[in-house]
Structure 1
Amino acid sequence: MSDAQGGAWLDDEAGRLVRPYAVSNGRTRPTAHFDLLTLVMATGNRPKTYLGPDYDEVLALCGGHPISVAEVAAHLRLPAVITKVLLSDLVGHEALTTRAPRPIEASSLTDRNLLEAVLHGLRKRL
């Protein structure tokens, strides 16, 4: 058994020893809206009360740069819905800010030169 990065109890063979629903106190609905691409970043404010080691781990992940909800869930090894609950709690404590990802311009998705380069590369490989 090991204490990985300040609190997530893991067993090398069994994985997490604490069930995901216990991490969120049985809650499965976040109070704020997130999708998997929503970017979160720590504000530098700490919650006034101690929330637990999983929240500390989230704040450490979100401290230096914006990170997506999907990445946070992957690092925590938690389902996305549980991660969203943790994130929404931290947003409520003003410890995190959120930002929707920048929309992709439709013209960049259909750049003819890029598509021709991909086609050329595929023909070369086959």
Structure 2
Amino acid sequence: MAAPQDGPWLDGAAGRLVRPYTVSNGRTRPSTSLDLLTLVMATGTTPLGYLGPEHGQALELCARPTSVAEIAGHLKLPAVVTKVILSDLVDCGAVTAKPPTFHENPTDRSLLEAVLDGLRRQL
């Protein structure tokens, strides 16, 4: 059975009742270049026109700087669909996107070990 917060979009026995690409109107390419580490944040501007419920959920998740990967996880959608949703929000000015910056070497061993330790604590 679906969790109460999931609404009619999920069913424990059947899985997702709406195909993910229906959410993005069949689009698979975002209009804005986003990667999984891109941070997105709400601007406070109200989007004009109709946006789906997933757009609203994503916008709520952008109250603080949040990565694309984290938003995809919360929405339970594939990353490519989440990128399309977020690019719609960027296009209408509701969110801003900041590419990840690595001041040092992105493959720094101590950084990677810290991330791995954090992931292990979560499991």
Count of equivalent residues = 110
Equivalent in the alignment of 1:4: 5
Instruction: Name stretches of at least 5 consecutive residues in structure 2 with no aligned partner.
Output: 114-123
TM-score, length-scaled by structure 1: 0.77
Question: What are the Cα deviations for residues 2-38 of structure 1, in whole angstroms up to 9, with x where unaligned?
Answer: 5636x67111222221101100001001000011000
Q: Work out the CA distance in 2 between the residues paired with 1:25 and 1:85.
A: 10
1:24 is the counterpart of 2:24: yes
Equivalent in the alignment of 1:121: none
1:44 is the counterpart of 2:44: yes
Letter in 1 for 2:52: G
Cα–Cα, structure 1 residues 73 and 67, in superposed 2: closer, same or farther, change >3 Å? same
Aligned-pair identity (%): 57
Cα–Cα, structure 1 residues 48 and 3, in superposed 2: closer, same or farther, change >3 Å? farther
Equivalent in the alignment of 2:75: 76
Q: Which is higher, the Rg of structure 1 or of structure 2?
A: 1
Letter in 1 for 2:5: A
1:61 is the counterpart of 2:61: yes
| Helix, strand or coil at the partner of 1:91 | helix
Q: CA RMSD in A?
A: 2.4
The question of whether the paired residues in 2 share the 8 Å contact of 1:4 and 1:10 is answered with no
Cα–Cα, structure 1 residues 91 and 68, in superposed 2: closer, same or farther, change >3 Å? same
Instruction: Name stretches of at least 5 consecutive residues in structure 1 with no aligned partner.
Output: 116-126
Question: What are the Cα deviations for residues 22-62 of structure 1, in whole angstroms up to 9, with x where unaligned?
Answer: 00001001000011000001111111112110100000111
Cα–Cα, structure 1 residues 27 and 44, in superposed 2: closer, same or farther, change >3 Å? same
Equivalent in the alignment of 2:102: 103
